């Protein structure tokens, strides 16, 4: 199945998303801040990135901007998962952002969106 990088400074969120993904057979790569997220994205080249906005060391907006600047990572789809609802407009302009979901989120809805994004990416 797919390799998914889950980035959030809240370990409970990472564990919940990891549980959902592993239940569907995906491999999960964890990162707990923006700097670690970039390092793992460049090293692992995941099929999907689930990205929080408000994080230590580097915020999700900066992480996503850096991902789009690099040839090897610019086409990796990103699902934004954040409590910062007012940031939606900023990310709607980013070509790699496939979906934007606010916390608290419905795990079933997130799981459906993950499958939808991975299916679209696989068909390209």
Number of domains in the chain: 1
Q: What is the pLDDT of residue 82?
A: 85
For range 41-64, the mean pLDDT: 95
Number of H helices, E strands in the chain: 5, 5
Q: pLDDT value at position 123?
A: 84
How far apart, in whole angstroms, are the C-alpha atoms of residue 34 and residue 56? 7
Phi first, then psi, for residue 7 (nearest 5°) are -120, 115
**Nearest-angstrom CA–CA distance, 8 and 58:** 11
Domain hosting residue 107, numbered range: 3-122
d(CA 22, CA 38): 22
The CATH number for 32's domain is 3.40.50.2300
Q: What pLDDT sits at residue 15?
A: 97
Average pLDDT over residues 111-119: 95
Q: What angle do CA 38, 80, 53 make, to 5 degrees?
A: 65
Least confident stretch, 32-36, 48-52, 83-87? 83-87
**pTM listed for this prediction:** 0.94
């Amino acid at each position: 199945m797919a390799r998914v990088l889950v980035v959030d400074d809240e370990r409970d969120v990472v564990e919940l998303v990891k549980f959902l993904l592993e239940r569907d057979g995906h491999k999960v790569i964890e990162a707990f801040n923006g700097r670690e997220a970039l390092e793992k994205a460049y090293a692992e080249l995941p099929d999907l990135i689930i990205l929080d906005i408000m994080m230590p060391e580097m915020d999700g907006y900066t992480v996503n901007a850096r991902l789009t600047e690099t040839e090897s990572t610019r086409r990796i789809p990103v699902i934004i998962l954040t409590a910062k609802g007012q940031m939606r407009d900023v990310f709607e302009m980013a070509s790699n952002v496939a979906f934007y979901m606010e916390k608290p989120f419905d795990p079933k809805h997130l799981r459906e969106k993950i499958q939808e994004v991975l299916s679209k990416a696989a068909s390209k």
